Amino acid sequence: MQSTQSYSRTQIGLHWAIAGLILLNYVLSEGMEDAFDATMEGKVVAFGITPNLHVWVGVAVLVLVVVRFAVRLVQGAPAPMGTAFADKVATVGHWALYALMFAAPVLGAVSWFGGIDATAEWHVLVVNMLMILALAHAVVALVHQFLLKNGTMLRMMRASAPK
């Protein structure tokens, strides 16, 4: 994987689209347990648009995460900007985010479309882990921007000029 000075417009767009969709789906998760349980019991789900919207936003997240990962493999990413230890923590954190962003919708899809209750419980656990890690990611980005003032966060806000 190559290293670049900044993320591309495609990477930046995917980052913010995925972040927004994950946040939207977290908000839309209210009532999903009842909808899933009703579906598992063979009942007609009459919970309005929320369950279907949650499911299809989850599918969109999965597709966009796969695209984002592929784009990252092709285009690379900027090198970390900290100490050796901090760079390792950042790398592990980013790969953990990718893993959780992939695992959450996969588990949700297996649960919903496959009717598997056990994966539904794992889906909830993975989503909560994802939200905690995403919050930590945001806090670290803000620390870099406002305390360390090293411009790390700007790399995900504006693309470098194409070469």
Per-residue CA distances from 80 to 11, 89, 144 (Å): 16, 10, 11
What is the reported pLDDT for 92? 95
Confidence at residue 134, expressed as pLDDT on a 0 to 100 scale: 97
Q: Which of 67, 69, 35, 71 is nearest to 50 (CA)?
A: 35
Q: What confidence tens digit (pLDDT) does each residue in 1-31 have?
A: 556 678 999 999 999 999 999 999 999 898 8
pLDDT at 89: 92
Tell me which amino acid residue 153 is.
Answer: M
pLDDT at 98 over 60: yes
Residue 144 CA to its chain's centroid (Å): 20
- Domain map (residue ranges) of the chain: 3-156
Q: Could you read off the pLDDT of 28-77 as tens digits, one per residue?
A: 898 898 889 888 888 876 667 888 899 999 999 999 999 999 999 999 98
Q: Whole-model pTM?
A: 0.89
> For residue 102, what pLDDT is reported?
98
